[in-house]
Structure 1
Amino acid sequence: MRHIMTPVSILALMAAFSAHAEAPVDTMWGKISEPSYPTKVCATLTGDIVTKDGSIDWYDADGKSTHPDHDRIQQAIDGCSEGAVKLTVGTKGEDGFLTGPITLKSGVTLWVDKGATLYASRDPKDYENGPGDCGIANTEGHKSCHSLIEGRALKNSGIVGEGRIDGRGGSMILTGPNAGKRSWWDVAWQSKQGLTQHVFRLLQLDGGENLTFYRITFANSPNFHLVPGSFTGITAWGIKILTPSLVYTRPGYACPEGTTPDKLTPATCFTPDTVKNTDGFDPSNSSNVLLAYSWISTGDDNVAVKAGKGLVSKNQVYAHNHFYYGHGMSIGSETNGGAEKFLITDLVLDGNDSPSGNGLRIKSDSTRGGPVANIIYDGVCMRNVHYPMVFDTHYGDKTGQLYPSFTGIVVRDFRYISGGKYGGGVLDLRGFKEDGQTLPLDLFLDTVQWDGAQPAVNGGKGKDAPFAAHISVGPAAAAWAKPLFKDSPENDVTVSFVATRSSPRLRDCSQAFVSYKSVLADSPI
């Protein structure tokens, strides 16, 4: 019998949809609503590999077929015009696609459907861009590997779907000097020994407008995950980034002693602190950037906004996001192109007591510095983070004449829940005053509070006390700030306690912290 929808059932369905839908986000360039999936599908491709225990290493272990799906995916993209190429699960549960580098083009969206995974080849020859060094570490400073997904001068392109793209960073390399001896992450760890790692990024897109990432999961990149550069208009909504996933570690990242890259080659277990340079979302020299309702846990910066030579990085909003392991919500280290007009709002950051964990972070130095201005952090819940705030113009030891300047930095409606390994954490506040330049950090701490153990200032990083810092403190922060911050003419530190125009808010963080595993099944945490 044909079912007829009554007005009541239609209203119930609409209400259920509305409850699931995420609210639009107000930005400097207008109200941005949740993206939608493409209505035109140029081609639908079905998987031909079955994932076993979270991996397809069984499939390409003999090295005979390292990228069997590359040609059909690339041909489908090349043949598509203003539509999507959709990757779906096969009729017998074939959920995996295996590819080398593919090139996205304008007007085309790569749609990885729910249950499907696009896996990266683990053969360095598939990524080699000329010098012959991809897959090793040496003293050469050039970049030797193509990214898994590349594209230039893109307009109205994107990557969407509830599936995932997996870089397989912990899987053994198949060819070259490290064949069967190291994974991509083992190679990356050699950077700790003063070498240059030659491994690939998951995605690098250069130049364009209206780029969309929606609902997709990115995992286990050997290096940076997402690097879109020189774009006007980037919307990343509901994405997840996780490195390392459970297939390369133990629950809770409880690796047995002697199994991680710092102790064993090849490593048999990885943690976020031993997968080097695996940044999450790194938009560079771009404007009108929105990251919303997203989840990131990785081995380096959760977000690192790059602002090197080129277009100014400006008009960026980071709203309703959850960060876990990582080096924080960062701007820099390159700021010589300028970064301005940022809003970071409703951020939940749970650092899991990582020794290198950061919270709110702006980093640069005089070899790559420039103006960073009008950065507002409004609405932050944080816990278990070693360095809750790092605003540092001396990120590196080298010196030059590109001087960093951090002004108009505002932190408000911020609450830190103490009680982890590092108590209230450490604040690192250093403006720039040397080489005849005086560019003090201009920081306003308004409605900022610590519950439990209070923070320390600096210490633990081998750096001086607060330096060239002009700090204003609102009444809600006065209780902990007065014994902590002192005027120091010698160090150009001034502290002023000011009234705010509105009543101080006390942010409710009681329901803020959510386990990553509750939203992504193969998260170890």
Structure 2
Amino acid sequence: MKKRSARELVVLGLSVLSLAGCGDGNGISATSSNSNSGPNSNPGPTTSPAPAWTPGRYAGDTNLPDSPALPRDDQVCSVLQASNTLVKNADGSLPASADPTPASYGGATTQRNNPDQARIQAALDACGAAVDAEVGGKIAQADQSAAATQQAANKPLVNIAGATSETLSNPAYKASKFSVRLVRNSGGAGNAFLSGPLVLPSGVTLWIDDGVTLFASRDVAVYDKAPQDRPNPITCGAAVNNPAGLPAPTGSANAGQATLAGVSGMQNCYPLVRGNHTVNASIVGTGSIDGRGYMPLISSSPLYPTIRWATGTTEQFSYSGNNISGVVTPKFSCTNTIAAYRAGTLAPEGTACDVVTAMGKSTLTTPAVTYVVNRQATSVPGGMTVNSPGCASGTAGCARWVPASWWDVAYHGNKDIGGGPYSFQGNPGMVWMQQSKNLTLYQITLRNSTFFTVEADGVDGLTAWGVKILTPLLPDAANQANVGMNNDAFDGTSGVYSHLYTGAQIDASSTGVKNTDGIDPSVASGPEHASLGTGSKTTSGSPIYFDGYVKNVAIVYNYLSPSDDNVAFKGGLSDPRVAGAKGAQNGSPAADMLWGIDGNRDVSSNRTYGITVAHNHSYNGHGLSIGSPTNAGVRNIHFYDNYFDSVYDGTNAATDMGVVGLRIKSGQARGGDVSNIYYDGACMRGISSFLVFDMYYTAPAADPISYTGLGWLPPSFHDINVSNVRMMNIPSNKAAGKAGGGSLTFRGLHADTSFANAQSVIQLNLANVVADKDVVLGISNLSKGVLNIGSTDGSTQSKAANATLNLGANVSLLGQSLAHGTGGILTNTSSGAGKYTAPTNTLNLTVIGSDDAGSATDTNPAATIVSQNPKLSVCDDPASWPSFPNVK
């Protein structure tokens, strides 16, 4: 095995410092996560044929498998050169002139807005066919052999998995040529590709070369799914909501239907890159993929329904029953209705929109106007005038209708029309792979995603190594004149795009860019026996088995800055387990319960832990997360040696941006067992929510049974182990002598009087967890009200905590002070080294142990702990905090 030098690691985009701070990911070892005893133990390698070849361990961290590598030149199926008509700006963006907004709706052409899709897909398809011809039969044979062994074992609770990812990593199952490489133009300045949705075939690597960017077309029509692929008639690019199960309005595509139950808007769009039933597929390279979420959408179809909003207007409204009130001028219009588009016609002007509507709350009052079809360039519906400073209906360029961006669609679907479980933003994801074995992302930069950046459902062998995810990344020119997409002078072909239609500046918070998770390993809906996808329209000759579980995941050495979860393991709402393996959830014996995501299942011999998240640097985002759906169960995940670096200063809400560190989240109708989770080694500074363990992520009213179809499923979080975690102040505060801040959230379930929940108490074990002396540590439980929860003990306090903290050695949560709400959570005594008591614990938070750092005279117990702990003192090394790499 080749050992890499520090210089080589830098070239690979890895953090040398992270290697120096490596741990074994098991700082709290009271409960071993590698136990193979009991009825649900890891069956070991005897259930499938032993691989002929086993890759070695990565030299930098022997817990990990070998690092991926870029293909060799002789492994390339074809090389595609960028057209010289596509040249990036200096800031890395694509000029608006590359695919200009049409002068009139429907003026876009595929030659301008989607020039590269056909040739890239043709190259991928040809490579996929060649790979299948060379190794497809071998893969099928290996899978059939493994499946026969598993079927003979006759374990009724276990899905047939077929050949493992470890077996299929053997070079015998990889073709001699397997890569399609996108490169710069050899005879000119071309360095960009512009494409609509692509299908990544099994066995094929998409290699994007250094300095090259694959840009997503902003032609909304190319992402709309074909009838056989879409779950409902709603179009891609729609923003709809159907709260409380109200029927959709008459005239809409799903008129009379009670809900869009359990359907993500992403399911109505083809993602930019997708694959289904793949083995050994990859996306690699030091180039980038850009989703262009901030750009106004265009359409190559004159009939396609798109959302537009009016410049120079301010729409503020509130809900009253099923009506929206307080609207003076409607902010939105649509160019057609979904129903008319599906029928191949144009709806008459003034027809009520169904593409941008609150559906059950679609009647607008004061005055009584509605979102309606309006294809005019300069007027607003119903003769309404625009009345804003310096702007009237007769002012040229004032009452303009401009196309929404993907981020506008997302914001409208999440915020304006109610949010909640029925909010529906019809946006495409960037990479969505379903039922895969050995899926690799290596070194690639993924930016400006329009929905989830990477969704991997039912994957055995997911490796994300040296990846850079950044959303939003706006052009450098953005906001130079303090205007943005809603600029009244927007001319349809140029301008800057730094604001949402609301006027709010786009930032990295959940208030700006919605649902752009970084990497989401998720269970699939169920096991499948299906042919490999060998191209956009072809499959292999023999089916292979996929069990739908998440196994053998390594998310390591990445730079993560999305505007939502940095990483999120989603254990539901789909559930691949057979009924008998769901344990108490469906009446089967609890001893028979399996977990949808289990780091101990079928662990490859080339790694220590089946699921590892390590050596990552997170900047903005909602944390290294588990959930919110956990109904299929999640356990045995190792998070270690991760860094969190943002800008929250502890006092200024403008720097908060919802940035989270470590988080487990669930709700009352999507809960399940979450256990044996290990967080070992984390440096966090500028983070507004350091630790979040929350069973009220979705309130009871937001999880009706009709939405999930699951009934009430209270979560259970236990054996959650947190060690070697340091909560720090930001450098600018330190230089100014100011304290920093951040919060903790522990919210288990209280037995309620309105729903079917029993009490569920979070069980957390903490050791070597400190908040620096200049950090004001707050408890957020009371700032997040729990509705519809009745008291059972005569008190008036909502029961939001319900958690037990087992404080092991060297815990200092005092910081400079500990802020908490009425009723007390932890109260530091007036003497000693910050020992805690809980005198009036109305929040049912049990603290076992105490802050035990140093002696009673120690004025800085956190520093004492840090000085004795290399995993915490490494946080003081300036090299621990690299800036986000240049990804332009």
Q: Report the TM-score, using the length of structure 2 for normalisation.
A: 0.53
Distance 1:244 1:346, change over 3 A: same
Distance 1:330 1:379, change over 3 A: same
Q: Is the 8 A contact 2:430 2:453 kept in 1?
A: yes
Corresponding position: 1:118 with 2:214? yes
The CA distance in 2 between the partners of 1:135 and 1:303, in whole Å, is 25
Structure 2 equivalent of residue 158 of structure 1: 282
Q: Is the 8 A contact 2:499 2:506 kept in 1?
A: no
Gaps of 5+ in 1: 1-10
Amino acid at match of 1:461: K
Distance 1:337 1:422, change over 3 A: farther
Per-residue CA distance 1:74-113 (angstroms, 9 max, x = gap): 1111111131111111121211111111111111111111
Q: Is the 8 A contact 1:428 1:466 kept in 2?
A: no
Structure 2 equivalent of residue 187 of structure 1: 409
Structure 1 equivalent of residue 120 of structure 2: 73
Q: Is the 8 A contact 1:249 1:271 kept in 2?
A: no
Distance 1:417 1:25, change over 3 A: closer
Amino acid at match of 2:803: A
Q: Is the 8 A contact 1:250 1:269 kept in 2?
A: no
The CA distance in 2 between the partners of 1:25 and 1:269, in whole Å, is 40
Distance 1:379 1:485, change over 3 A: farther
Structure 2 equivalent of residue 393 of structure 1: 695
Structure with the larger RCO, 1 or 2 (CA within 8 Å, 6+ apart): 2
Distance 1:32 1:41, change over 3 A: same
Deviation at 1:461, TM superposition (A): 2.9
The CA distance in 2 between the partners of 1:172 and 1:95, in whole Å, is 22
Distance 1:360 1:409, change over 3 A: same
Q: Superposition pairs for residues 480-491 of structure 1, below 5 Å?
A: 480=814, 483=828, 486=838, 491=843
Structure 2 equivalent of residue 137 of structure 1: 239
Q: RMSD of aligned C-alpha atoms?
A: 3.1
Residue of structure 1 aligned with 2:727, choices 416, 428, 438? 416
Q: Superposition pairs for residues 324-473 of structure 1, below 5 Å?
A: 324-353=619-648, 354-398=656-700, 399=703, 400-418=711-729, 423-434=740-751, 435=756, 437-451=758-772, 452-458=774-780, 459-462=782-785, 464=798, 467-473=801-807
Q: Is the 8 A contact 2:218 2:297 kept in 1?
A: yes
Q: Superposition pairs for residues 317-328 of structure 1, below 5 Å?
A: 317-328=612-623
Gaps of 5+ in 2: 26-33, 35-43, 45-62, 103-107, 132-174, 228-232, 243-259, 300-304, 309-401, 418-422, 487-496, 524-549, 577-595, 600-610, 649-655, 704-710, 787-797, 815-825, 829-835, 854-864
Corresponding position: 1:270 with 2:317? no
The CA distance in 2 between the partners of 1:390 and 1:317, in whole Å, is 20
Distance 1:256 1:18, change over 3 A: closer
Structure 2 equivalent of residue 8 of structure 1: none
Residue of structure 2 aligned with 1:287, choices 547, 551, 556? 551
Distance 1:455 1:138, change over 3 A: same
Which structure's residues are more often helix, by fraction? 2
Q: Is the 8 A contact 1:302 1:323 kept in 2?
A: yes
The CA distance in 1 between the partners of 2:837 and 2:211, in whole Å, is 52
Deviation at 1:456, TM superposition (A): 1.4
Q: Superposition pairs for residues 57-68 of structure 1, below 5 Å?
A: 57-61=96-100, 62=102, 63-64=108-109, 65-68=112-115
Deviation at 1:355, TM superposition (A): 3.6
Per-residue CA distance 1:302-351 (angstroms, 9 max, x = gap): 11111103241222211110111111111100000111111111111123
- Range moving further from structure 2, 508-517 or 118-127: 508-517
The CA distance in 2 between the partners of 1:350 and 1:16, in whole Å, is 24
The CA distance in 2 between the partners of 1:487 and 1:161, in whole Å, is 57
Pick the structure with greater CA Rg: 2
Q: Is the 8 A contact 1:181 1:265 kept in 2?
A: no
- Local SS of the residue matching 1:475: coil
Corresponding position: 1:495 with 2:495? no
Amino acid at match of 1:193: D
Q: Is the 8 A contact 1:86 1:110 kept in 2?
A: yes
The CA distance in 1 between the partners of 2:10 and 2:563, in whole Å, is 33
The CA distance in 1 between the partners of 2:219 and 2:616, in whole Å, is 34
Which structure's residues are more often strand, by fraction? 1
Q: Is the 8 A contact 2:483 2:498 kept in 1?
A: no
Q: Report the TM-score, using the length of structure 1 for normalisation.
A: 0.88
Q: Is the 8 A contact 1:376 1:411 kept in 2?
A: yes
Structure 1 equivalent of residue 81 of structure 2: 46
| Count of residue pairs brought into register by the alignment | 507
Distance 1:163 1:428, change over 3 A: same
Distance 1:470 1:26, change over 3 A: closer
Identity %: 34
- Local SS of the residue matching 1:189: helix
Per-residue CA distance 1:173-230 (angstroms, 9 max, x = gap): 0124336421111111102112522111101100021110000000001111000110
Q: Is the 8 A contact 2:237 2:427 kept in 1?
A: yes
Distance 1:51 1:292, change over 3 A: same
- Local SS of the residue matching 1:79: helix
- Range moving further from structure 2, 180-189 or 236-245: 180-189
Residue of structure 1 aligned with 2:94, choices 37, 47, 55? 55
- Local SS of the residue matching 2:94: coil
Structure 1 equivalent of residue 162 of structure 2: none
